[in-house]
Amino acid sequence: MRCPFCQSDDSQVKDSRPTEDNSSIRRRRVCSACGGRFTTFERIQLRDMLVIKSDGKQQAFDRDKITRSMSIALRKRPIDMETIEKATNGIVRQLESTGESEFSASEIGDLVMQALVELDIVGYIRYVSVYKDFRNPEDFDAFLEEVRELQKEQTHKDAQKKKSIKAAA
Ligand SMILES: [Zn+2]
C-alpha cells in the first residue's frame, strides 16, 4: 500500500480490526520509509460498476473517490474518518441496490450531497459550491437561500423529534 506522504510502497500493518458495522476491515499502517501513519479499509465490492461522466466517457466506479471528495468537503469539520466511511458505504449500498451497473456522475454527486446534508451543513455547502460550478454570486445567493430553508426544515424536524421523545417518556 503506497504511503500517502512519501509514496513509498513499503508499509507495515500495526493493527487490523473490523469496523463497527462489520462491512470492512480497518488497518492501521506505518510507512517503513518515513514513519507516516495512515489507515486503510478493505471491503467487498459486489459488482463492477461504471460511471458515465458528463462528457460521455466511462470510468470504473471508484468508491475511494467518494470518500476523498467527502473528506475534502469536511476538512477541519468535526466529522471523523469512520463516519465518512459509513456514509460512503451507504452511498455504495444505495447504488448497488438499484441493480444497475452504470451510473451517471451526477447521480453519484446527488447521493454525496444528500449524505453531506445529513452529516454537516458546512461540508455540504463546500461540496455543492465546487460541484455545481457557480458562475456568479447570484447563483450562490440562490443556493444559500435553499440551504437556509433546509436548515429551517431540519430544526423543525429536530424540535418535533424532541417533542415525541418527551411525549413517550
Ligand atoms: Zn512514507
CA–centroid distance, residue 65 to ligand 1 (Å): 21
DSSP letter, residue 8: -
157 pLDDT above the threshold of 90: no
CA–centroid distance, residue 132 to ligand 1 (Å): 35
Report residue 158's pLDDT band, with 50, 70 and 90 as the boundaries: confident
CA–centroid distance, residue 29 to ligand 1 (Å): 10
Burial class (CB in 10 A: 0-12, 13-18, 19+), 84: buried
DSSP letter, residue 41: E
- Number of Cβ atoms within 10 Å of the Cβ of 87: 22
Question: How far apart, in Å, are the Cα atoms of 118 and each of 18, 88, 135, 165?
Answer: 25, 13, 26, 20
Element (H, E) at 52: strand 50-52
CA–centroid distance, residue 37 to ligand 1 (Å): 8
CA–centroid distance, residue 38 to ligand 1 (Å): 9
How much is the pLDDT for 132?
80
CA–centroid distance, residue 63 to ligand 1 (Å): 23
CA–centroid distance, residue 10 to ligand 1 (Å): 8
CA–centroid distance, residue 35 to ligand 1 (Å): 6
As beta bridge partners, residue 52 has 58, 104
Over residues 22-36, the pLDDT tens digits come to 777 889 999 999 999
CA–centroid distance, residue 71 to ligand 1 (Å): 20
Mean pLDDT (the chain, rounded)? 88
- What is the reported pTM? 0.66
- Find out whether 47 and 16 touch, Cβ atoms under 8 Å: no
Residue ranges of domains in the chain? 1-44, 46-157
Give dist(CA 125, CA 111) in Å, integer.
14
Cell triple for 74: 469536511
Is residue 160 classed as helix, strand or coil in its secondary structure? Answer: helix
How much is the pLDDT for 51?
94
45 pLDDT above the threshold of 70: no
How much is the pLDDT for 99?
79
- Number of Cβ atoms within 10 Å of the Cβ of 128: 22
